[in-house]
Chain A
Amino acid sequence: MAKILLEMKNITKTFPGVKALDNVNLQVEEGEIHALVGENGAGKSTLMNVLSGIYPYGTYEGDIIYNGQVCKFSNIKDSEKLGIVIIHQELALVPEMTIGENMYLGNERGHKFAIDWNTTYAEADKYLKMVNLEESSKVQVKTIGTGKQQLVEIAKALAKQAKLLILDEPTSSLNEEDSRALLDLMLGFKKQGMTMIIISHKLNEVAYVADKITVIRDGTTIETIDNRGPEPVSEERIIKGMVGREMTNRFPKREGVKIGDVMMEVEHWTVHHPLYPERKVVDDVSINVRKGEVVGIYGLMGAGRTELAMSIFGQSYGVNFSGKLKIDGKEVKMKKSEADAIKHKIAYVTEDRKGNGLILSQSIKVNTSLANLNSLAKLGVIDQDKEYAVAEEYRDKLKTKTPTVEQLVGNLSGGNQQKVLLAKWMFAEPDIMLLDEPTRGIDVGAKYEIYCIINDLAAQGKSVVMISSELPEVLGMSDRIYIMNEGKMVGEMKAQDATQENIMALILQSGRGA
């Protein structure tokens, strides 16, 4: 048996109120490619952040043993010194700088006060050759495509003398061809003795490249599958480990809600990326939602769900839109204006409540009224008594736990913040609510309350579109489910026909077929 390069023993990491990792164990042999798989939020990235020192020693329990030594990293620099280099999912390159400058950012050649540019570019070119990139290192990063940028990231890691390379979703933004090239590059590195950990949602890629596959679910290691046999392990086998959780009564029943006529129809909706306009983020998607219906949209990260919802909501995301939007049977010429969308009775409840949803430095009252302030104002003057009453009303309705509606939103818990966000959009009195990850990062009790609110909305005849990365939630809450992958709509199912397995299978098939 080969030497164990890395062992993570009984790692437990707790965030306030949430146990993100619970006794996780991971063993990586020298010279192997080890895959980590699991649903969004299962704890893969947290585990890698523990390993690379982003969460320093002391903030977690358990041991990291690397090369036979117990490691106590206090920051990323410490782990990089030992050759543990992580490449994050989001590219961390400065577009305006050259490839060479990017590769040695924070790791400059020569003297601190006199950078040796000749060495920098010569060494950079050497590493670029290793990753099969023909570009000169003096080329600006913004002029090369995403696939090549990913290779630059890898070259950057190599330049740090990486011995253990961690790749977090390295192919999520790449097309099929670039992905395959990257995977083959990884196999090439393996031959040279490099050890790698890959995190990926694309199970076909995992099966192709990995020697061992560790499945993580709900913050614990479920199993490690050996993939070194003559036949690659089947994806169904991996999925079983990923989703095999029991469904108990976590979702309140919605009974006697009549589903009415079609409220909103989106046809052949296409949206391009705002920074890379040649890339389609949403590609020819058609959906509809009826009155009183809850429609789920499921997809893995990067499937284009948020982008779809935001582009419907006053084109607040993307460029070069095409497609038709019909509300109540009539076609709507939507402008690039959120105010216009609100006027058409659409609300978008963001997945990023702190970044895009709430004003944390303001009170619950101010946040609740913001999207519909005009209804409380006469000639631009706010009726503050009425505003207070409205905020109180929604606090009661949604059972937001707070001493007073004058409380700053920044001081509330995640679940209560989510309720304030919902209150804000309910007060805008929409007919169509686009809920984006409405239960992200909140505890189980608060989730249940949010589900009840969604049911109430449906009972009032509102049309609810619920985007979620949690399959059980989509299955438990929806009347109908759309499945998206890589910008395309890959399937539609009635809730009673849907199972975790056939939804995942749909996504995987589409990923392979492309």
Chain B
Amino acid sequence: MKKNSSLYVLFNGILRENPVLVLILGTCPTLATTTNVFGAFGMGVATLAVLICSNMIISLLRKIIPDSVRIPCYIVIIAGFVTVVQMLVHAFVPALYEMLGVYLALIVVNCIILGRAEMFASKNSVGKSALDGLGMGIGFTLALCAIATIREVVGAASFAGIAIPFLEPLKIEFFVKAPGGMVVYGLLIALVGRLTKGKSPKKKDFTCVGCPGMSFCTKSTCNVKKEV
């Protein structure tokens, strides 16, 4: 695949640079909303929608937005779309709205979105940015669903809220609790590392890569980053 083809951009987010399992971005929603496949899928789609919209708008305005105020601009645009998505979900899927609660609003501070705006949308065309958003969003959704499937089936003996009776006596509630989420996530990251055998981009350490501020604090005194 050519490095600049549209397909490459799309699949980049789904596989090679999967935001959750490879880039380790957006850990908070990943852990918090994966107790139920339905919630995880909803979170994924909501994030996907915000990601595509914000990527497109930011790419569209990339020549207008001055460098000095770009971060506030990005935040305003992202927060705007998050609010729109929040209202739509509240109106049309109230069950999901209740399940996700505060995490829906917290899409604003999801590292993936601001990260993609800064790293990709601000440098690429509208079409490509949309594809990048789509790919990243699908990658995010798939990873969330994978984690949620493991946690829900093992931990609650159900799938997307539908009970699986024969697993009932075998369920291990630990997995739907907070620490269980961390264990599943950690194991999946290790598994992906094993499968890609290091072919994927070298797994960056958390310090600044895993941090949303990383993308824009390059010019500030980010000593934390330099230490790594």
A binds B: no
* B residues in contact (CB < 8 Å) with A: none
* A residues in contact (CB < 8 Å) with B: none
